[in-house]
């Protein structure tokens, strides 16, 4: 099982900023994880500030698009091993039934695209969001996934979501 690739889906309502940042950050790390993102009500376009930051950080941006989570609940879609909500709105919504019963967790952080300040203030919000997501992803990818029982893995994943920058104390959703 050590050579297995795990599919990870990051969910947000609009799938235009936070979930896109998380998808790209995990994709950059590669290894035994394959990253995806989606939204319950996708905006249809990726936030330009998110794309600019990812490009500036030399993170992958090719193929990033705002899409519905229905794509991942449909027959023939990749089976997810992990599903993380990264916004509080998506965490409160009724998610599709994910084939394969993935481990779920809520890693909510504030929405950087809600900042209406100067270019510098918006950039700072996106940098902070990416930093919080990178921290969570680094903790997640260092877990001994192959050695943890399901309940222990779920607890660790949800604990990660309570780290610095958490927007909500909720840890039992996704």
Q: Which residues are catalytic?
A: 12, 87, 95
Number of H helices and number of E strands within the chain? 5, 4
Q: Rounded to an integer, what distance in angstroms lies between the CA atom of residue 8 and that of residue 80? A: 6
Residue 9: phi and psi, rounded to 5, are -115, 125
Q: Is 19 helix (H, G, I), strand (E, B) or coil?
A: helix
Query: What is each CA distance from 97 to 54, 72, 81, 136, in whole angstroms?
Result: 31, 10, 13, 24
Q: What angle do CA 149, 33, 98 make, to 5 degrees?
A: 65
Instruction: Please tell me the chain's helix, strand, coil percentages from 3-state DSSP, rounded to the nearest 5.
Output: 40, 15, 45
Nearest to 31 by CA among 128, 104, 140: 140
């Amino acid at each position: 099982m050590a050579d297995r690739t795990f599919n990870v889906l990051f969910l947000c309502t609009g799938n235009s900023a936070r979930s896109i940042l998380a998808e790209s950050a995990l994709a950059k790390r590669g290894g035994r994880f394959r990253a995806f993102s989606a939204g319950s009500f996708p905006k249809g376009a990726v936030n330009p500030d998110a794309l600019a930051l990812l490009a500036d950080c030399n993170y992958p941006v090719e193929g990033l698009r705002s899409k519905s989570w229905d794509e991942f609940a449909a027959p023939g879609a990749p089976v997810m091993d992990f599903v993380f909500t990264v916004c509080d709105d998506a965490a409160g919504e009724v998610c599709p039934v994910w084939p394969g019963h993935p481990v779920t967790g809520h890693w909510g952080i504030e929405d950087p695209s809600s900042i209406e300040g100067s270019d510098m203030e918006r950039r700072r919000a996106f940098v902070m969001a990416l930093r919080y997501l990178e921290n969570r992803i680094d903790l997640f990818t260092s877990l001994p996934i192959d050695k943890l029982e399901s309940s222990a893995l779920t607890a660790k994943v949800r604990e990660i979501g309570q780290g610095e920058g958490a927007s909500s104390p909720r840890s039992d959703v996704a």
